[in-house]
Amino acid sequence: MKEIRIAPSILAGDMGNLEKAVEISVEGGADQVHLDVIDGHFAPNITFGPGTVKALRPFTDLKFDTHLMIERPETYVAKFLDAGSDLLTFHAEVLRGSSFDELYRVVKAKGKEVGLAIKPQTQLPKWAEERLDKISTLVVMTVNPGFSGQKMDMSVMPKLRKLSGLVEQRGTGTDVEVDGGVEPENVREVVKRGGNVLVAGAGVYGKKDPVKAISELREMALKLREPS
């Protein structure tokens, strides 16, 4: 069984003090830091770019899980690699098999990981199914891209179960990351359908004690895995 990983999304942190947001992730024992890059075209918001990733890199060795909600990833992939991103997640909606293969080649040449994300309404394209062994992390979005603090779209749950089953069946070891509205109230639904990487923005930085919130999410997820 794949390990449970907690990935706080600093987009929900203090945008005037992202260093603090990263520190909270480290203090809370997070497994990776989720960095939401949005270009104002792929989704209706503009967040941060390679410069911010580079500025935050010295503050931790934690995996930089970089979620690229951008229309032209081929233009920026090298910059994010240089900035210190460890996992570069591209959106299936802006790619075809051939453009994915090109990005994969560039990322693997630097020894980093490739992720693929799909919006709530998007089914996994055939070309992605055929390349599951190349995808280290499959991101199943449970909110529309753009903002933290949205409510989880529970209509995505059947797709989550189906994709976790596909990964299991194929034996690729691909992590299944759930992104959007993850909160203590819905961790059960996500984990029992095979989500093992839990992104949390408001679920961490919106809590009175964000550091504690990280370990509480992990405990809840692990408890669900204990034989009943």
Question: Which residues are the active-site residues?
Answer: 36, 179
Contact in structure between 35 and 10 (CB atoms under 8 Å): yes
Which residue is at the shortest CB distance from Zn ion? 67
Nearest distance from C-beta of residue 149 to ligand DX5, angstroms:
5
159 binds, among ligand DX5, Zn ion, none (CB under 5 to 8 A by kind): none
The residues near 43 (Cβ < 8 Å, ≥ 6 apart) are: 69, 144, 145, 146
164 binds, among Zn ion, ligand DX5, none (CB under 5 to 8 A by kind): none
Which residue is at the shortest CB distance from ligand DX5? 201
Q: Quote the CA–CA distance of 199 and 153 in Å, as a whole number.
A: 14
Q: Which is nearer to ligand DX5, 133 or 209 (CB)?
A: 209
Q: Which is nearer to ligand DX5, 4 or 199 (CB)?
A: 199
The residues near 226 (Cβ < 8 Å, ≥ 6 apart) are: none
Bridge partner list, 70: none
What are the b/e assignments for 122-144, b being 16+ CB within 10 Å? eebbeebeebbebbbbbbbbbbe
Run of H or E including 32:
strand 32-38
Nearest distance from C-beta of residue 41 to ligand DX5, angstroms:
14
210 binds, among ligand DX5, Zn ion, none (CB under 5 to 8 A by kind): none
Nearest distance from C-beta of residue 112 to Zn ion, angstroms:
18
Report angle CA 95, 119, 47 to the nearest 5 degrees. 85
Q: Quote the CA–CA distance of 38 and 42 in Å, as a whole number.
A: 7
146 binds, among ligand DX5, Zn ion, none (CB under 5 to 8 A by kind): ligand DX5
User: Given the rule CB under 6 A, which residues bind ligand DX5?
Assistant: 9, 11-12, 34, 36, 67, 143, 145-146, 148-150, 179-182, 199-203
Nearest distance from C-beta of residue 67 to ligand DX5, angstroms:
5
